[in-house]
Amino acid sequence: MIREFPEPLRSEVKRFLLERADRVRSEEARRNYLKVAKSLARLAGIRSLTELNRETYFRWKRVLVSEDISDFTLKAYTQYVKALIR
């Protein structure tokens, strides 16, 4: 899945997962971070986490809401994004 990411984002996500390997232990958690990063690239049109600003974040969130995802999933995705950009 990570091979599908644009290059700056791919490197950033790899670095994120390596730096937090002690906290992101489960395969499911890694997959969720990858899924959220992929949706940011696809829905918000970013190629790097540095491009994520208020406008692109809300564009991404609006698309997720329009796709009728559950509140629980939206909150979880939001937490993953916050962790990625820290």
Asked if 4 and 38 touch (Cβ cutoff 8 Å), the reply is: yes
Query: Does the structure show a pLDDT above 90 at 82?
Result: yes
Number of structural domains the chain divides into = 1
The per-residue pLDDT for 54 is: 96
- DSSP-assigned letter for residue 42: I
* 78: amino acid identity, one letter: T
Closest C-alpha to 86, from 16, 27, 35: 16
Q: Is the pLDDT of residue 86 over 90?
A: no
Closest by CA to 85, choosing from 39, 38, 52, 46, is 52
How far is CA 16 from each of CA 8, 19, 26, 51, 66, rounded to the nearest angstrom?
Answer: 12, 5, 15, 16, 29
**pLDDT surpasses 90 at 1:** no
Structural domain for 39, as ranges: 2-85
The string of pLDDT tens digits covering residues 6-56 is 999 999 999 999 999 888 889 999 999 999 999 999 999 999 999 999 999
**Mean pLDDT score, 74-85:** 96
